[in-house]
Amino acid sequence: MFPRKNRTINRWAAVLAIAFTLLFFVLLSRFVYLAEAKSVQGHDMTKIGKERWINAKLIDAERGEIISSDGDVLAQDTPAYNLYAVLSPTAESHVVDKEKTAEELAPIIHMSESDILAILNKDRFQVEFGSHGRKLTIDQMEKIKALKLPGIGFFKDSKRYYPNGTFASYVVGFTSHNDQLDKDVGIVGLEKSLNDMLTEEDGSIRFYGDRNGDILPDGTKELKKPHNGDDVYITIDSRIQTVLENAMSKVDKDYHPERMIGIVADPKTGAILAMANRPTFNPNKRDIKDWTNDAISDPFEPGSVMKTFTLAAAINEHVWPGNKTYQSGRYAIKNDKGRTAAVVHDWQSNWGTITFNEGFTRSSNVAFSIVEEKYLKPNRFYDYLERFGFTKKTGIDLPNEADSKINFKWKTDQIMSSFGQASAVTPIQIIQAATAIANDGKMVKPYVIQKVVDPNENKVVKEHHTEVVGEPITAETARQVRAMMHDVVWDKNGTGRNYRIPNYDIIGKTGTAQITVNGQLLTGKNNYVFSFLGMAPENDPKLIVYIAIDRPHLKPLETGSEPVAAVFKPVMANALQYMQVKPKLNDTENNEKKVKTITVKDFTGKSLLDAKAQLTDLGLDVVTLGSGTVKAQSLYDGMQVYPGTKIVLVGDGPYQMPDLTGWSMTEVLQFAQAIDAKPKLTGNGFVTTQSPAAGSLVKNGMTITVTLNAKNPDTKTENKNKS
């Protein structure tokens, strides 16, 4: 029996062996076929395999930064988060209590509970929350995480952020997210005009990975490097811009004008150091109402500021009557038939017979009507309008610049244009023309973009160079005009007396322009555009400041210069001190005081204690930080100041923040510069609050935030004690 059983087993074994052999060859032939054909039923097996095992990840790039001339970042990308909710019960974590989730999310993402609940009730695996759930801040994200709501998560993203808020908002502009491009796109300002340069290009990485998405050992990688957008460096100086913004905000609060314009420029280069408008907006909130940058895009009648350029034209043509006299008060413009077409009036009628020089100082419309019609003549006057750039755009590197509206067809328009009526120009055209007066005849083009840098290769791709766009007048003419502008401010009859700044030889020209709305000329003392074009110092102007305020609500005894001066004076004074322009101490006001001035010396490298002792003996108010030797000081070498002036000496660290209460804006700016800090000021006058607090550790590059008030708290306390 056993031998028969063995034969049976052997037979079945042979059958199985043959079957397995046949199966092996079938499978082998199939593998060989697949390897050669690489397809099954028309499907590319190689492609399917790659798609299953290849992973792709996005590498975020950043939009370029916009940076001030002194290194402050004005626009940058910051981390942001997009909110989502998993609804499917099959997911490991999903929304359980929809009502509670809606209730707790609503105040954080600023969305109604009902709208959130409608989204959570959708029949989907996962949902997002539209614009309310996108670009959330870190603070919002952390608040939501703290709620520990099941099914709620975040995708990491970035958002455009403007650290200084309303600071130079019409220059910088803002972006809006484009869903189709999935990128931020510039809408206003430099963000718009330089959008192509600022825009980033995201990268990606493709690799063979396991089921968890981790790269396989020795796995092949395909890398597309991210390309960050170009960084834009602009001419705006954050310290000068800060003073301009603060001064305009205070005047805006006190006088409630229709609008305000302020521009600060370097007349040697054309660089715009500060530019601001009111109303303004916060680019982080996109609360913009007026889409026009009035400084470059809204021409208006400049008023008597235009007399500066008519004067320059007449002097340059050697026809300025100067010491000749005329009858002020009124001047009749005759038509071709000898009939009166219009009558020009001076703003005061009791000057009588005066010289033309005095007519400029007093801002006489009659004087310039006579000069245009009888001395300069229309053709030559128009030629100088062209020479000074009033008949075309300046070409400033900001978007949407408007052109002027020069009305020169009729005789009345020709004459009235000589003193700033009938024709309209833009503030930036006035700035460009003024550079010729300040720069000994050479007119330079205004600009805002200093350079553009590719941060990926640290390569400058665009750089501005000063561009002389004309020489409308000679250097001698420019000097004569500046001397006449000096009289406007310092002569007893000058219209610019309110713009005097002690120790600095401010020169300038006032302007008061009428306003027409819907064809009707507005009347009343509030219904004018009040302006001032100022420069300093007279012999070699380092700054041009132009301020225009439209329809401020003046107090009973005010004439219009008060709100303009309230912006001009702190801006010019602080900018001159910041730029270390030495004051002139021989003016009439200081001679009357007969106070001996102190010349500051450079104490860098000297003993802090010895320097303090010497300066204290001279009568200065000395504040010291740290110990050892002097590393920096707030007043520069050779500066002439009065006894009691505050000076900060910075020694070896660490050192503590002083109590800034009662300090002036200028003193705060000088202190911030000495310790390399960033000042953030609100208000005008003297410091009432500060951050960091007195006694805090001072760190390099820190931000100092102060609130200023017109009333000096130190003075208030002193008076209280006296009483």
Domain boundaries, the chain: 2-37, 58-234, 241-578, 593-722
Single pTM value for the model: 0.78
- Whether residue 279 has a cis bond before it, omega within 30° of 0: yes
Per-residue tokens: 681: 């000021």
Higher pLDDT, 134 or 220: 134
Starting from the edge strand earliest in sequence, which strands make up the sheet with 543-550, in order?
Answer: 272-278, 259-265, 543-550, 528-536, 507-514
Per-residue tokens: 60: 């975020």
Residues in CB range of 446: below 8 A, 6 or more apart: 265, 270, 271, 272, 394, 396, 428, 431, 432, 435
Helix/strand/coil for 103:
helix
β-bridge mates for residue 203, sequence order: 59
**pLDDT digit string (tens) for 33-62?**
655 655 555 555 455 444 455 555 666 788
Q: What's the DSSP call for residue 392?
A: S
Biggest alpha carbon distance in the chain? 155
Task: Map tokens 């690799």 to a residue.
Answer: 207
Residue type at 493 in one-letter notation: N
pLDDT value at position 594? 47
Active site residue 304: yes
Average pLDDT of 531-541? Answer: 96
Task: Report yes or no: 104 and 147 within 8 Å, Cβ to Cβ.
Answer: yes
Residue 404 pLDDT > 50, yes or no?
Answer: yes
Of the ranges 206-215, 473-482, 509-518, the best mean pLDDT one = 473-482
Round the average pLDDT of the chain to a whole number and report it.
86
Band the pLDDT of 715: cuts 50, 70, 90.
very low
CATH second-level architecture of 593-722? 2-Layer Sandwich (3.30)
CA 577, CA 502: separation in Å to the nearest integer? 12
Average pLDDT of 489-510? Answer: 93
**pLDDT digit string (tens) for 101-132?**
999 999 999 999 999 999 999 988 899 998 89
**pLDDT digit string (tens) for 416-432?**
999 999 999 999 999 99
Percent of the chain with pLDDT over 90: 54
Task: Map tokens 């460009």 to a residue.
Answer: 432
Task: Map tokens 């990688």 to a residue.
Answer: 221
pLDDT value at position 593? 44
∠ Cα 709 710 716 (to 5°) = 90
Residue 590 pLDDT > 80, yes or no?
Answer: no
Q: Within 10 Å of residue 337's Cβ, how many Cβ atoms?
A: 6
In 217-285, beta strands by DSSP E: 221-224, 231-234, 259-265, 272-278
**pLDDT digit string (tens) for 343-373?**
999 999 889 999 999 999 999 999 999 999 9
Element (H, E) at 33: helix 2-37
Pairing of strands 621-625, 646-652: parallel
Element (H, E) at 345: strand 340-345
In 225-305, beta strands by DSSP E: 231-234, 259-265, 272-278
Residue 210 pLDDT > 70, yes or no?
Answer: no
Per-residue tokens: 146: 């703290």
Average pLDDT of 612-629? Answer: 88
Q: Is 692 left (phi over 0), alpha (psi -120 to 50) or beta?
A: beta
CATH for the stretch 241-578: 3.40.710.10
Kindly report the length of the chain: 723
Task: Report yes or no: 527 and 502 within 8 Å, Cβ to Cβ.
Answer: no
| Lowest-pLDDT choice from 88-97, 302-311, 337-346, 590-599 | 590-599
Residues in CB range of 407: below 8 A, 6 or more apart: 413, 417, 422, 423
CATH second-level architecture of 58-234? Alpha-Beta Complex (3.90)
Q: Which of 68, 304, 531, 634 is catalytic?
A: 304
